[in-house]
Amino acid sequence: MNPIAPSSRLAQVRYEIRGTLARRARELEATGRSIIHLNIGNPGRFGFRAPPHLVETIPANLEQSDGYCQEQGIDEAREAVVARQHARGVMGMDTDHVFIGNGVSELIDMSLRALLESGDEVLLPSPDYPLWSASTVLNGGRPRYYRCPAANHHQPDPGEMASLISPRTRAIVLVNPNNPTGAVYPRPLLEAIVELAARHNLVLLSDEIYDDIVYDDAAFQPLAPLAGEVPCLSYSGLSKVHRACGFRIGWMSLSGAGPRTAGLRDALQLLSALRLCANVTAQWAVHAALHGPDTISPLLAPGGRLHEARRTVLEGVEASRFLELVAPQGALYAFPSVHADTLPDFDDNAFALRLLEEEGVLLAPGSSFHVEASRHLRLTLLPEPAALRDVFVRIERVLERMQFDLAPRLRQPA
């Protein structure tokens, strides 16, 4: 009998954050090796816990969680999102335009499914969060990447974005604060992107899951208040700011002129109904998260764990002979790169495998995020600072070995 062939679309999909290297790490752990996991932003792995006022909502509402809820989410959760958007200056928002999902991941897939015809194009950042690329491809679309290079502090160029727009372009995706780079986009840049979307009749898709995670004097600017009547989908959730990844609850709000967004709203409602509803039990935590005490700011202030972890990473890069870094302004990651003059033929995948095999550290190579000729590495800021200091010692050892291995070839006569 012939083997079952998977969909050809999957050949264009990659998610190396949980891919080949992660599988190899599990194999090594099965032999008794200890592995430091820096490949994924999973707060629970590093001792962070969801705030008590979120956790307490679960048993308190179990009796109301046995049945399906309205397909877009429970009223209390959607009302909390509406209140948050009103506070941010998004007027005219109501619960009919809010959708609760099983994490932002489900909502990203749902929104692209509602939006795209086969062959439609979506402008995506490079580096990207690879779920956006995967969802675009799996829903028949074509990614077009606008660059966010380190030389420009990982900020995009609206002029380059404009040059990529074609008659098939449907949407512009922003990830702000950015994963993997930690960039936080200033208001003038966002205004320029809104103007671009307005001029070309595009939908804005703004992934703001790290919205309240910013460092030093960086300030997060939500996109929807600037977008006004331009159709804009804004995404956030419990997993990062509220350290509740396992709750699998995200939310998406649709703003913009009613006549222009009505069809998209109805399509999203239909897709929400087809999957019945999101996890009812954990939806009760949304109101508590958005109306309860601020538990993230102490972690970001000087002396707070995330602030000190970021400082440790900056110091580790500064002490390295090989690494350079645009300091992350937000989110939970750093995206350092290797100097070309120290390792001219650097291969980020080969390095990541050596680091795992030789030093027991798992991180994500920059090429996992659709960066051509990448010299970058992505690591999370979630470990304790002492663990991160040790990680940079291990990274330096592998880079030194790679330079030593290269030395005989460099000494050979031409």
The class (CATH top level) of 52-291 is alpha beta
pLDDT tens, position by position, 118-141: 999 999 999 999 999 999 999 999
Q: How confident is the model at residue 40 (pLDDT cuts 50, 70, 90)?
A: confident
Q: Per-residue pLDDT tens for 171-193?
A: 999 999 999 999 999 999 999 99
* Span 8-49+298-411 CATH architecture: Alpha-Beta Complex (3.90)
Tell me if 352 sits within 8 A of 363, measured CB to CB: yes
pLDDT given at position 365? 94
Query: Per-residue b/e over 11-46, b at no fewer than 16 CB within 10 Å?
Result: eeebebbeeebbebbeeeeeeeeebbbbbbbbbeeb
pTM of the model: 0.93
Question: Could you tell me which residues come within 8 angstroms of residue 70 by beta carbon, excluding any fewer than 6 positions away?
Answer: 277
Average pLDDT over residues 199-207: 98
- pLDDT value at residue 412: 55
Q: What is the domain partition of the chain in residue ranges?
A: 8-49+298-411, 52-291
Q: What pLDDT is attached to residue 408?
A: 60
Q: How does pLDDT run across 290-342, given as a tens digit for each residue?
A: 999 999 999 999 999 999 999 999 999 999 999 999 999 999 999 999 999 99
* Residue 137: alpha-carbon gap to chain centroid: 17
Over residues 265-283, the pLDDT tens digits come to: 999 999 999 999 999 999 9
Average pLDDT value for residue range 354-374: 93
**Residues with Cβ < 8 Å from 47, sequence gap 6 or more?**
384
Integer Cα distance of 90 and 260 in angstroms: 16
